[in-house]
Structure 1
Amino acid sequence: MESTLGVEAGSPAAVLRMLMDGSPRTRAEIVAATGLARSTVRARLDLLVAAGLVTGSGTGESTGGRPAGRFGFNPSAHLVLAAEVGATHATVAISDLACQLLAVEQVDLDVADGPAAILPLLVTTWRSLLRTVGTAEIAGVGIGLPGPVEHSSGRPNNPPIMPGWDGFDVPAAIAAEFDVPVLVDNEVNLMALGEHTASHPDVRHMIVVKAATGIGAGLISNGVLHRGAAGAAGDLGHIRVPQGGEALCRCGNTDCLEAVAAGPALAAKLRDLGHPADSTADVVGLVRAGNLEAGRVVRQAGRDIGEVLAGCVSMFNPSLVVIGGLLAEAGEMLLAGVRESIYRRSLPLATENLRIVASGAGVTAGALGAAAMVVRHVLSPEVLDARLGEVAAGAAAPEVQLSSSAT
């Protein structure tokens, strides 16, 4: 008998997954749902209660007297440290095991300063936030970085805008501060995971685009994050735009989408038109202030992004495209341009049921995704069942901890 996770339905992780829908159940209800013996369900629940992951009491069966005890998921059992690091700022957060953000802080930085400067800044911010949310054990740390990442090792892989980061052992550096699992991924992948977890959990195929200092995309395929063979899936920013006008990209090529439609390129265009714009935030500010030329420039950027996305839509056939990142805060101008190109260039069959929407999670999307990445890892059957199995075999202390020194 298989659970929705594809593991044995009788495993502790599968029983926990059943309870993570937010509906407490009696032992009898769990027995009926799983087909397991009452003694097996009792043993599974005892392990989960000992770990603090489930709360509840009672016999689980009512004989007409007092109500049966109910058991439910306890998301406050552990905390997750999460961060999305961009080129110029980071969103640093703490969540519970239900990926509810308990504390969030925006931090200005320059990712080009390198890991020796940026990682201690994240640690300091987490420690400050921890003082505001209580003393629960930390389950793990999730970090998104603005470049390709080898997810299995957590090391950046030739990131074009991150001097000093290539091959750096980020998990080891963070695990030296917090003795817990540390997972690292590309920030746009985590934005996609965050949007999927928080705003669109029922969508099976979606593309999430971040338009800011750079441009990238995260892909959800059949409900699962698609990273690609080398962790470089979704690198929209370095796809050639035919009408790029020989714009030089920082990757060394010309006519890349990022060199034409990202925030710095738009700011440069507005400066040439006599407007004060030194950053993506300045571009957004001008659009919000009603500047017509800024609105026109952003609308064209949306068309350029849409031109590239049109090919992705025809090939990948998503049911949803989400546009996020700082540039998306310019509002409908960017979205209108994206929609214009996609609906003009993609086949009707691919766009018949396609929705193109603004980010629902906003600036916290990447942090939400980082938290979700960690939760999925520490509560996965491979990790959780192994830990609980150690306790059941008497190989660990009676009080179960999710955290470990593994990275």
Structure 2
Amino acid sequence: MTTHPGLSQPAADSGGNLARAGDLFQLLRDGKARTRADLALTTGLARSTVASRIDALLLSGLVGPAGEANSSGGRPPSRFAFNPAARAVLAVDVGATHVIVAVTDLSGRVLAEQRLAQDVAAGPEVVLDRVVEEGLAVSAKAGRTAGELAGIGIGLPGPVEHATGRPVKPPIMPGWDGFDVVTYVQRSLPVPVLVDNDVNIMALGERAAHWPEHSNFLFIKVATGIGAGIIGNGELQRGANGTAGDLGHVRVPRGDNVLCRCGNTGCLEALASGPAIAAELSRLGVPASKGSDVRRLVNEGNPLAVQALRQAGRDLGDVLATVVNLLNPSVIVLGGSLGQVGEHLMAGVREVVYRRSLPLATSHLRIALSIAGDQAAILGASQMVTQHVLSPAAIEATLQAAG
């Protein structure tokens, strides 16, 4: 398992009951109430062993009483269930021009949130100081204290080395390259801090909330930039250096003479991102300067805006057709700011993907718009934290430390 700053590591398995209580806890994370007898039957463990592990989990607060089961004679047996209210998670979505700070419980349910206008180019200290300040305010609004935080999840709009939480040469984040986000935040909030690229956490959030049965899943963010969150066999795929899914700089056939900010020509981002579509509309005599202008024009039914968004979908489809052949996902979800007016974008994607991809790869493929919308990143940031702090190893470490 990759060691992440701020996460305590479990002690070696001593063979005692607590060293394996984390595995028993995983059975309870579905929220279903069970008795000690139910757990003994499911696990094959002795009732005395189950009882000692349940006692430890009850003391931690992560498991709580859930009424009594029907009695077949004598005293009704007690039932137990996961208690997601035991701790809270601070979930943060940092965008190019916004910050969303939310507090969730351990099941990912949003308890309170705050949305702010904030330019990421202001630098890491300015942005993260505001994250901490608003995080404490939102926690108070949710009735939770800083001491109840299990961890903090942060999504950033650029490449991130997940193992360290440091941004890596992010193109729209001046001053952030190599910045130690984890240590900086932990100076104010000394809890586990996990950081990842925003589209990765959007993929986690969208899938967990709305597509949990799909193990091979792509989330495509179309906004100021274009990127993909890739989930394969149920696991987020970050690649060797955390840059997996950077679709924005894949070459598109019709873009030979279009210069991208990366210095190359023909990049998908230079043709199909929000600013690129706005620039094309301006060239056609329709005033637009950013993605929000494109959304407004599409919502107003402007035919040139609708046509431009559909063409952006075709350009995206050119890239995704290859991705579908390589990765064979069962679901592709389109999100990001342009996903909010995504029917025309989706139509263009479908037009090309179903024509250009292999028939077997598309026989059961679904292409859909994001259901989570602008909450996908918040849900994913929370999910990223709970995957770590509620893992069997982390639960065992917590119980051993408490013991």
**Deviation readout 1:21-48 (Å, 9 max, x if unpaired):** 1210011111111111111111111111
Q: Paired residue for 1:186?
A: 197
Q: Paired residue for 1:129?
A: 138
Letter in 2 for 1:127: L
Match of 2:57 among 45, 48, 53: 48
Question: Cα gap change, 1:89/1:57 in structure 2, threshold over 3 Å: closer, same or farther?
Answer: closer
**Contact 1:139 1:378 (C-alpha < 8 Å) held by counterparts:** yes
Are 1:90 and 2:60 an aligned pair?
no
Are 1:120 and 2:119 an aligned pair?
no
Q: Paired residue for 1:105?
A: 114
**Contact 2:170 2:177 (C-alpha < 8 Å) held by counterparts:** yes
Are 1:168 and 2:182 an aligned pair?
no
Are 1:333 and 2:344 an aligned pair?
yes
Deviation, 1:108, is 1.6
Question: Cα gap change, 1:58/1:118 in structure 2, threshold over 3 Å: closer, same or farther?
Answer: closer
Deviation, 1:265, is 0.6
Q: Paired residue for 2:293?
A: 282
Q: TM-score, normalised by structure 1?
A: 0.91
Are 1:195 and 2:187 an aligned pair?
no
**Deviation readout 1:93-120 (Å, 9 max, x if unpaired):** 1110001111122222221221021111
Q: Paired residue for 2:270?
A: 259
Q: Paired residue for 1:292?
A: 303
Where structure 2 has 5 or more consecutive residues not aligned to the other structure, the ranges are 1-12
Q: Paired residue for 1:398?
A: none
Q: Paired residue for 2:85?
A: 76
Letter in 2 for 1:391: A
Instruction: Tell me, in whole angstroms, the C-alpha distance in 1 between the residues paired with 2:110 and 2:172.
Output: 29
Match of 2:160 among 136, 141, 149: 149
Instruction: Tell me, in whole angstroms, the C-alpha distance in 2 between the residues paired with 1:228 and 1:331.
Output: 28
Are 1:158 and 2:169 an aligned pair?
yes
C-alpha root-mean-square deviation of aligned residues, in Å?
A: 1.8
Secondary structure of 1:152 counterpart: coil
Q: Paired residue for 2:21?
A: 12
Secondary structure of 1:243 counterpart: helix
Deviation, 1:266, is 0.7
Which range moves more in the overlay, 245-254 or 21-30?
245-254
Instruction: Tell me, in whole angstroms, the C-alpha distance in 2 between the residues paired with 1:280 and 1:58.
Output: 52
Deviation, 1:60, is 8.0
Question: Cα gap change, 1:201/1:23 in structure 2, threshold over 3 Å: closer, same or farther?
Answer: same
Letter in 1 for 2:31: G
Alignment of 1:310-325 (within 5 A): 310-325=321-336
Q: TM-score, normalised by structure 2?
A: 0.92
Instruction: Tell me, in whole angstroms, the C-alpha distance in 1 between the residues paired with 2:89 and 2:256.
Output: 45
**Contact 2:25 2:392 (C-alpha < 8 Å) held by counterparts:** no
Deviation, 1:68, is 1.4
Match of 2:253 among 242, 253, 259: 242
Question: Cα gap change, 1:24/1:59 in structure 2, threshold over 3 Å: closer, same or farther?
Answer: closer
Instruction: Tell me, in whole angstroms, the C-alpha distance in 2 between the residues paired with 1:48 and 1:213.
Output: 45
The alignment of Structure 1 onto Structure 2 pairs a total of residues equal to 386
Deviation, 1:63, is 5.7
Instruction: Tell me, in whole angstroms, the C-alpha distance in 1 between the residues paired with 2:89 and 2:66.
Output: 26
Q: Paired residue for 2:365?
A: 354
Secondary structure of 1:11 counterpart: helix
Where structure 1 has 5 or more consecutive residues not aligned to the other structure, the ranges are 1-6, 393-407
Match of 1:223 among 229, 234, 243: 234
Are 1:35 and 2:25 an aligned pair?
no
Instruction: Tell me, in whole angstroms, the C-alpha distance in 1 between the residues paired with 2:70 and 2:358.
Output: 57
Instruction: Tell me, in whole angstroms, the C-alpha distance in 2 between the residues paired with 1:341 and 1:57.
Output: 52
Letter in 1 for 2:378: A
**Deviation readout 1:361-388 (Å, 9 max, x if unpaired):** 1101111111001001111122210121
Runs of 4+ with deviation above 6 angstroms: 7-10, 57-61
Letter in 2 for 1:42: A
Deviation, 1:238, is 0.6
Deviation, 1:353, is 0.5
Deviation, 1:59, is 9.3
Q: Paired residue for 2:5?
A: none
**Contact 2:33 2:66 (C-alpha < 8 Å) held by counterparts:** no
Match of 1:233 among 235, 244, 248: 244
Letter in 2 for 1:82: A
Deviation, 1:57, is 7.5
Secondary structure of 1:188 counterpart: helix
